[in-house]
Amino acid sequence: MGAGVIQKSGGGGRRGRRRRPAAMSEINVTPFVDVMLVLLIIFMVAAPMMTVGVPIELPETAATALPQEEQEPLTITLTADGQVLLMANETPEEDLVTKLKAIAAERQDDKIFLRADGSVPYARVAQVMGALNAGGFRSIGLVTEQGGPRLDGSGN
């Protein structure tokens, strides 16, 4: 009898196994570049908006009167000696925001007129405007006298 070689079916016993692909050893930088470009654009647009305003001396101007409203207009007055008047009543600064919130809850519109003496510093006027905003009044009208100089060169 002769010797023979018996072969197993399936070719070596590795039936059904597939070879796994090799792990990627490179970083995909495309998403990183996309994110960086978006951030660059955001900063390019936002950077000019973060600049501080230029200090200037504000000129007097001529203004026309606003039309009358149905409700009596609410006014805040800043006097030259530092008093804050809500309508005709003197109001302490600590109570201003709480009084304004109570008034805003009762009124239909959020208009308020701010009258300030010309000698009151602009920073003080801005502080009171911030208090008006915190009190619920978003539409603040600055009251001035008519007859100031005009920008178009036509005089008073």
**120-153 per-position pLDDT tens digit:** 888 888 898 898 888 888 888 887 776 666 667 6
β-strands 89-90, 84-86 pairing: antiparallel
CA 106 from chain centre, in angstroms, equals 27
From the CB of residue 77, how many other CB atoms can be counted at a distance below 10 Å?
19
**pLDDT for the residue 54:** 39
Which two three-digit tokens encode residue 44? 């390019």
From the CB of residue 97, how many other CB atoms can be counted at a distance below 10 Å?
16
Mean pLDDT of the chain: 76
**More confident: 63 or 77:** 77
pTM: 0.51
> What are the structural domains of the chain?
75-143 (3.30.420.270)
